[in-house]
Amino acid sequence: MSNRVEFDGLSVAPNVLETIVRIASEQVDGVVAVGGTPITGAASIFKSRGPSVEVSAADEGEALDVAVYITARYGMKLTDLGEEVQKAVLDALGSQLGVEAANIDVYIEGLQFEG
């Protein structure tokens, strides 16, 4: 993605888009964290943590492709959780920037158990 994304004369930095997506996703009940589960111990030497949010322009800047990587609370119906995250991201992008998302992909990378 380039350094800036243009929407009707408004220039937005990619990290601003990622922040909007991250905050919208974190506000959904059942999302423990945006990004996979933290990697600790010896595994952290061999495995790098992947991205938590990816945003790229689609359709000549008229819409966005979004990928969100989350950790979900154990016991949630994951399909419903994914749909709620998609709706929250779509609403946030629409209300804050007036743009649509062509695709919002939600990847559940981990589960958080209570206790």
Task: Centre a 10 Å sphere on the Cβ of residue 13 and count the other Cβ atoms it contains.
Answer: 13
pLDDT at 40 over 60: no
pLDDT at 63: 83
User: pLDDT by residue (tens digit) across 51-89?
Assistant: 789 888 776 657 889 999 999 999 999 999 999 999 999
Rounded to an integer, what distance in angstroms lies between the CA atom of residue 20 and that of residue 102? 16
Helices (H), 1-115: 14-26, 43-46, 78-97
Nearest residue to 25 via CA among 111, 99, 106: 106
How far is the first Cα of the chain from the last one, in angstroms, to the nearest whole number?
40
pLDDT attached to residue 100:
87
> In the predicted model, is pLDDT for residue 1 greater than 50?
no
Residue 83: HSE in the Cβ half-sphere, 13 Å Cα cutoff: 5
Most confident of 38-42, 105-109, 110-114: 105-109
What confidence tier does 115 reach under pLDDT thresholds 50, 70, 90? Answer: low
What pLDDT, on a 0 to 100 scale, did the predictor assign at position 41?
A: 47
* Lowest-confidence segment of 3-7, 89-93, 101-105 by average pLDDT: 3-7
